[in-house]
Structures are given as C-alpha cells and as structure tokens.
Chains A and B, each alone.
Chain A
Amino acid sequence: MNALSRRSFRWLAPAAAVLATLLLWQLVTAGGLFRADQFPTMTDTMIALGKAVATPPYWAAIGATVQAWFLGLVIASVLAITIGSALAFNDFAFRSAASVIEIFKAIPAIAILPLVILVLGSTLPMKVFLIAFGVFWPLVIQVIYGVRSMDPTVLDTSKALGVRGVRRFFMVVIPSASPYIATGLRIASASALILAVVSELVGGASGIGRNILQAQNGGTAAYPVMYAYIITAGLIGIILTGAFFLLERNVMHWHESQRNIRSNSEGALK
C-alpha cells in the first residue's frame, strides 16, 4: 500500500465508524426499540441541530460555555503554576501545604456549586470560579511534581550560567516541568468543560448546559433539540482536545516523547 492510500485509510476508518454508529442509532430508534419521548431518531436530531446551527442563540450558547472554560482554565493555570513552583522550591512550605491541597483536591467541585451559586448567582463569575476551583488542585499538584522532579543538572546549569530570577523561572524551570504541566492542562481542559456544562445545567448560567435543560423542559417535541445540544457539547470537547493535542505537539516538539512519536511514525510509514 502506498503512503497516499495509507493516509486516506487513516481518515476513512474513523469516518466509517462514526457513520455506522449514526446508522445504528437510526435503526434502533426508527425500528421502534425506543419511543420518541425516550430517544429521538438520528434524523430528527440532525434536523434539529441543522436548524439550531443557523440561529444566533446557538452560537451565543457555545460562546458562553467556551468563554467560561477559557477564563477558568487560564486563572487556574496561572495560579497553579506560580503557587505550585513556589511550593516546590520550599521544602517547608511544600510539606505544610501538601495535606491541605490533598483535602481540597478530594472535594468534588460540584459539591460547592450550591454555595457558589448562593454567593455569585447564575453568572459568568460563578462558572469561572467553579471551574478554576475544580481544576486548580489537581493542576497545582502536577506543577509541584513537575518542578520537584527537575533534573538537578538542569538547575545547576542555570546557576553556573548566572541565569536567575524571572529568567530562570520562565526559561528553565517551566520548560523543564512542562511535560507534567502539559499533562495536567490536558486533563484540566476536559474537566473544565464538564464543570462549565454542569454549572449551566444546575446553576442556570447561560451556555450549552442551560440550553440542554431548557430543551428538556420543552417537552417531547424539543427532545431532538436537547440531543442536538448534547452532541454540540461532545463536539466542543473533541475540538478542544484536538486543539490541545496540536498545541502540545508544537510547543513540546523538543521533548523526548514527541521526538519518539515522530521517529516511530516515520518508521511505520516504511
């Protein structure tokens, strides 16, 4: 098989799998295994999705969800990277903070949702706070591990070269811990989206989640719309994951794991 047909095969196989799933959906729903108020047919859902895509509120909902995702993630990352690095470099502070972090990490972010709604209402700040809170603890642990597992030679080198302070932080410490940070961010991105949708669904803030809830309240006729929004949430998840994948491949291209992936895939194309 030549390289071109291999490449198209790589795209064709997953596309065919998606198509097969959609067909199966259509078969079980149209075939009468489910009633329309339980599970709408694939075609009805696709029509609802098609209609929704053409309306501004659909995009406003996506915008609201992604905005909260983004802000929560950025705030949590900045805090986790600065606080995590500071803790990692100070043994006493690390030991003192470790148990506190473990406790907060163990609290499911959703458990504090009622409290956050009470204080902040069904607003963007409520969503952002919930996301940042939920994502911060696992991320800060990841940063601490990343910085603490730094190769001593890397740090010694920066000392020997007279690289200090902010420059050392950004040019040495962060890149050295970046494989850990990247993994943390990838996981954080997925949980941030979940928390965004939950805060909309339960907390009533505008976004995809609230539209799902509204469609559900709209009765059986609106079920295809509800599924359209559920699919949309899934698609957002896929796009964000894909974006992270590409970002990581670019930013971390120097890292051994990415180098290995590259040389392995070169080998596989032989």
Chain B
Amino acid sequence: MTIPSPESENTMSNLTVPTPAASSPSTPSHPSDAGEVLRVENLRKIYNEGKPHAKTAIDDVSFTVNKGEFVCIVGPSGAGKTTLLRCISGLAKPSSGSLSFEGRPLTSVPEQLGLVFQDYGRSLYPWFTNAKNVGLPLAARGMKKAERAERVSQVLKNVGLGHVEKQYPWELSGGMQQRVAIARALSYQPDLLLMDEPFASVDAQTRFDLEDLILTVRRDLGITVVLVTHDIDEAIYLSDRIVVLSGSPSRVREVVDVPLGDHREQVATRASDEFLGLRRHLLDLVMPHSA
C-alpha cells in the first residue's frame, strides 16, 4: 500500500521536460553552446519518492560546465553532493529536471565519462591487481591486451605511480589507492572527469600532492573536471568556477568565478589576496548566520 505524495508525478516525463521559468534565475535559457560539456537544469532528486519516508536530497540545481573547465561543487556534508554526482553520471535517476552531456540527454552512464568515487577503498576491486583494475574499462571497450598493458603503465605513470601493476590495491597506501582510482578513470581518456570528495580521506600532505596532480593532469590532457568537495580552500585552489550549494535539500546559492589563472602553487596561491578575498566571500555564503 503506497499513498503517492503530491510530488510523485510521472518521473519519466519530467526527465525531459524542464519545469518552466519560475524556478532558478541562474538557468540559462539559450540552447547549448558548442563548448558545453554538461548542462544541469532544475535538477531535483527525492529519495523514496511517494513513500512516507521520502527525502528530498536536491531541491533545485542548475549549472553548466564548459569544455576544459574545472568546476568545483561545494556544500556542507549531507547537502546532496554525492546524490548530485550520481545523477550527473547517470547512476541515479533525477526526480525531475533535465541533464545533458555533450548536447545529448543523459540516460545512462556515458562512455566518455570518468568517475572517481569518494570511497576509493570500496571502488577499487580487491580481487584484481592494480593493472587489471586500471585496464578493466579498457577491456570493456574492446582494447587489445598488448595495447592495454601499454596504456595502463602510461596512465599509472601519469598519476605518479610506477611499478604497482602487479600489486593489489590493498597493498598500497590510501593516497596511492586514490591515484590508482584516478588512473582508472583517466585510462579511457574521458571528456569529463567527475570526482566525489576524492581527497577527503587522505592526510594533508598527500592531499596537496593529489590536488597538484589533478591540476597537472587536467592541464596535460585538456580534460574537463567537475569535483565535489566540502572544503572551500580546496575548491578555490582547484577551480575556474565554484558552484556553491546550500544545505540540505540543496539549491545553488551562487556560482563564483575564480580568476586565479592557470598556474597555481600551494603556498603562494593560497596566500594571495585574490585567494583570501574569494575565501571570505565563500565563507559568507556558506555561513548561515552571516547571510
């Protein structure tokens, strides 16, 4: 026996028909740009829709990501960031709103999308060596064994790992495991890399190293990156643009441009006036009292 809640209208049709105007003022209404990789419009996600314990995780989120951009999504813990990434990656179905990837409506996980999960310990397969883990998406794409082996060691080198091919993920440190997970997501050269709090569970030094690694990789490969984090400093350090989410259920509070240029250094960049100015602005945004 289920009593449908008022919101539980036909999810399928809502997927492709964006809810009209009223919603978010930041929603761009023009058709997709040539350089647009991702478009999220009026996304709403309700877990257990229509059941008594329904939970709205995302209220209304819209933003776009252009080719080559590095966009961070910041929001407090429980804001619905993981849910948002799961929707963007096609792993979860939005309750309403529309999503498009490279101009096409997104229904399942696109081939050209790389995903790095928050919990690398569970997302790397312990029954495979690191090489097999990284090579798995390549095998799924039909790449021949010899080419695969070459690509695997190349991409492991790209993330600063050599000679871990024969080892198992659980034989590596947390930071190294996360590098393997990043290598795996990069191995098939995706157009868009999505990362869910990738550096949340490593120590500070490793975290700085990985942040710089991802900036290098992004510069070298010209890849588009969307990274979720709850850490404002990290968001500023990495991003070209920051999508600031409210608390649960999330809405977009503001989209902040980060004009810090291409070359960033942990010490100098974080001490610069621009950085500190942005930091103050973002703190104002996320601190509920100061609003």
Contact = CB atoms under 8 A, between A and B. Distances in A.
B91 A156 contact: yes
Contacts of B119: 153
Contact of B170 (A159, A171, A259): A259
Interface stretch (A17-25, A32-40, A57-65, A160-168): A160-168
A157 B127 contact: no
Contact of B122 (A153, A175, A254, A255): A153
Main secondary structure of the interface of A (DSSP, over half): helix
B113 interface: yes
Contacts of A255: 126-127
Interface string B137-174: 10111000000000000000000000000001010000
B18 to A, nearest CB: 25
B113 A160 contact: yes
A266 interface: no
A176 B127 CA distance: 8
Residue with the highest number of chain A CB atoms closer than 10 Å, among B89, B122, B141, B168: B122
B126 A157 contact: no
A154 B126 CA distance: 10
Given A151-B122, A255-B126, A159 B91 contact: yes
B136 A163 contact: yes
A171 B133 CA distance: 10
Contact of B127 (A151, A156, A175): A175
B184 A162 contact: no
Contacts of A163: 136-137, 140
B140 A167 contact: yes
Given A254-B170, A259-B170, A162 B140 contact: yes
Contacts of A162: 109, 111, 137, 140-141, 188
Interface residues of B, number: 27
Interface residues of A, number: 21
Contacts of A176: 127
A255 B128 CA distance: 11
B115 interface: yes
A145 B126 CA distance: 20
Nearest to A255: B126
Nearest to A172: B125
Identify which of B109, B113, B114, B184 gathers the most chain A CB atoms within 10 Å of its CB: B109
Nearest to B129: A254
A156 B117 contact: yes
Contact of B89 (A151, A154, A160, A254): A160
Interface string A167-195: 10001100110100000000000000000
Interface of A: 151, 153-154, 156-157, 159-164, 167, 171-172, 175-176, 178, 254-256, 259
Across the A-B interface, give the 9 residue pairs with the lowest CB-CB distance, nearest first.
A160-B115, A161-B137, A175-B127, A153-B122, A163-B140, A157-B123, A254-B127, A254-B126, A162-B140
5 contacts: A157-B115, A160-B91, A160-B113, A161-B136, A162-B188
Interface of B: 86, 89-91, 108-109, 111, 113-115, 117, 119, 122-123, 125-128, 136-137, 139-141, 168, 170, 184, 188
Given A160-B117, A172-B125, A255-B127, 6 more contacts: A156-B86, A156-B123, A157-B123, A157-B125, A175-B127, A255-B126
